[in-house]
């Protein structure tokens, strides 16, 4: 478990970090009032409360007692910790400090406007894939020029609307580039998504840069891109790649970057290269993660060489989704039933693949902690949801004894949790809570039957 337990050494460590936290914080922190009643305190260094802590048999997150949060807001519930998002943002920002860069949060991972506002306060821009994401970004206070629009297989009308809103275009097919040229000539800067044909990412569903992928324009069609660019005088502001999620191998990442940089030599107007997202975070103890520091150092060297070769400078963009918000989130669920079968002990919970689809969809591992019984004897459990098909969160997972009514915490639920949630089985989606400055704020209320009925049209039959 990636939980810091409250041993003597951790007391000393936490006291030391607390002391430095308050000392430095008072010197460097800024207070941001974003909504009435909700004020974000953005720290300029990495804060200590970024994981659940076990103290006196109670788990806390961001200085808040997690069971009390469930008592106040109910279960199932998503809870996000601002400190963790800030820690991840700061780490990435530092890792890429060898080159001028922008971090564009891939907000598909989690679009609650409060999260978007917090990331803006951290200094990030946005990467969006739909007009609604773009609108949410604008509502969260991002300037349109700081928002990428990276759609796939959308209509040209959608692209025109994104242009009207002032977003930075990132297009990934030749017919769309032709339409852009025919309609706007070279008046709208465009970034072009290249498919470098490399196999990267955690599994086939999240690999996007290989030869059979629907994403990007094939690197083998570079001559065609150049032809369209010349025909319409397109202003190619950047080249982009996003080859997959959960890329651990920095060599593969750099291989893609090299292909992108070389392709960029065909375009004199380039101001930036967007190297995408896909940085992996650990999901369990001993799990590999992307070494962003090593990647940052090697990528900066690659880019500086390229600048010499080009005789002009450019900046880099990155689009982390999971890296910024995955570890910040917990999904808290209540145990409804303990069922013993001849083969296994099931802990049946008040949630399912309708709230966290990753275990069933990607075979993803999510750590699970029984936060109600931290000292209970460790036993194996299969944790399953209440949906009408197999929706296990885990099989034979060692956990502290689970009893009816206990609260379980699924870790790494910040990214692609509520965003991939559905109303399957006509179940409402959970509420969302954001912990900022040691206080838990409701940032989305729980859905109700009325919400599920709202868009239905009842016929007079």
The residue ranges that bind ligand PLP (CB under 6 A) are 106, 109, 127, 150, 242, 245, 276-279, 319-323, 415
Minimum distance, C-beta of residue 110 to ligand PLP, in the bound complex (Å) = 10
Distance CA 164, CA 158 (A): 10
Q: Which C-beta is closer to ligand PLP: that of 60 or that of 128?
A: 128
Q: Which C-beta is closer to ligand PLP: that of 206 or that of 302?
A: 206
User: Strand ranges (DSSP E) for 17-176?
Assistant: 30-35, 38-42, 53-55, 58-61, 64-65, 77-81, 101-106, 125-128, 147-149, 168-171
370 and 399 Cβ atoms separated by less than 8 Å: yes
Minimum distance, C-beta of residue 127 to ligand PLP, in the bound complex (Å) = 5
Largest CA distance in the chain: 73
The 8-class DSSP code of residue 2 comes to: -
Q: Which C-beta is closer to ligand PLP: that of 83 or that of 319?
A: 319
219 and 258 Cβ atoms separated by less than 8 Å: no
Distance CA 369, CA 192 (A): 43
Catalytic residue among 107, 122, 317, 388: 388
Helix, strand, coil percent content, the chain, rounded in steps of 5 = 35, 25, 40
Contacts of 291 (CB under 8 A, 6+ apart): 250
122 is a catalytic site residue: no
Minimum distance, C-beta of residue 18 to ligand PLP, in the bound complex (Å) = 31
Q: Which C-beta is closer to ligand PLP: that of 245 or that of 400?
A: 245
CB nearest ligand PLP: which residue? Answer: 321
Minimum distance, C-beta of residue 224 to ligand PLP, in the bound complex (Å) = 21
Distance CA 420, CA 353 (A): 9
Distance CA 455, CA 434 (A): 28
Q: Which C-beta is closer to ligand PLP: that of 213 or that of 255?
A: 213
How far, CA to CA in Å, does 146 sit from each of 64, 115, 124, 143? 33, 16, 8, 5
Q: Which C-beta is closer to ligand PLP: that of 43 or that of 323?
A: 323
Sequence length of the chain is: 461
Nearest to 296 by CA among 90, 96, 100, 93: 96
Nearest to 33 by CA among 121, 112, 122: 121
Minimum distance, C-beta of residue 185 to ligand PLP, in the bound complex (Å) = 26
Minimum distance, C-beta of residue 103 to ligand PLP, in the bound complex (Å) = 11
Active site residues: 388
């Amino acid at each position: 478990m990636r939980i810091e337990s409250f041993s003597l050494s951790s007391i000393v460590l936490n006291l030391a970090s607390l002391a430095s936290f308050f000392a430095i914080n008072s010197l460097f922190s800024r207070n941001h009032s974003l909504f009435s009643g909700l004020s974000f305190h953005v720290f300029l260094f990495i804060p200590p409360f970024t994981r659940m802590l076990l103290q006196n048999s109670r788990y806390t997150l961001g200085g808040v007692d997690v069971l009390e949060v469930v008592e106040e807001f109910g279960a199932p519930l998503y809870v996000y910790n601002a400190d963790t998002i800030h820690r991840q943002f700061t780490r990435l920002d530092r890792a890429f400090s060898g080159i001028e860069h922008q971090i564009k949060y891939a907000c598909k991972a989690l679009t609650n406007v409060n999260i978007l506002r917090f990331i803006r306060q951290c200094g990030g821009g946005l990467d969006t894939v739909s007009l609604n994401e773009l609108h949410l970004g604008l509502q969260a206070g991002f300037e349109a020029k700081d928002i990428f629009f990276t759609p796939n297989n959308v209509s040209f009308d959608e692209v025109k609307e994104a242009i009207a809103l002032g977003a930075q275009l990132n297009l990934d097919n030749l017919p769309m580039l032709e339409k852009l040229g025919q309609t706007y000539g070279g008046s709208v800067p465009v970034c072009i998504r290249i498919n470098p044909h490399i196999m990267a990412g955690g599994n086939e569903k999240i690999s996007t840069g290989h030869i059979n992928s629907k994403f990007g324009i094939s690197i083998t069609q570079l001559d065609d891109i150049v032809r369209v660019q010349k025909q319409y005088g397109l202003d190619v502001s950047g080249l982009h790649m996003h080859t997959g999620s959960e890329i651990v191998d920095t060599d593969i990442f750099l291989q893609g970057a090299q292909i992108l940089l070389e392709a960029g030599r065909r375009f004199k107007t380039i101001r930036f290269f967007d190297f995408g997202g896909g940085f992996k975070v650990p999901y369990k103890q001993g799990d590999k993660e992307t070494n962003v520091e090593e990647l940052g150092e090697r990528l900066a060297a690659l880019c500086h060489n390229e600048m010499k070769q080009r005789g002009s400078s450019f900046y880099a963009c990155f689009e982390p989704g999971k890296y910024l918000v995955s570890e910040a989130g917990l999904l808290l669920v209540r145990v409804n039933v303990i069922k013993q079968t001849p083969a296994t002990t099931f802990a049946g919970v008040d949630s399912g693949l309708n709230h966290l689809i990753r275990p069933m969809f990607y075979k993803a591992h999510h750590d699970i902690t029984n936060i109600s019984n931290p000292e209970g004897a460790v036993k194996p459990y299969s944790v399953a949801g209440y949906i009408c098909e197999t929706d296990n969160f885990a099989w034979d997972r060692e956990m502290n004894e689970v009893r009816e009514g206990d609260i379980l915490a699924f870790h790494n639920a910040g990214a692609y949790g509520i965003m991939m949630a559905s109303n399957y089985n006509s179940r409402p989606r959970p509420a969302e809570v954001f912990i900022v400055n040691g206080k838990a704020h409701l940032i989305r209320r729980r859905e109700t039957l009325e919400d599920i009925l709202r868009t239905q049209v009842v016929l007079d039959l």
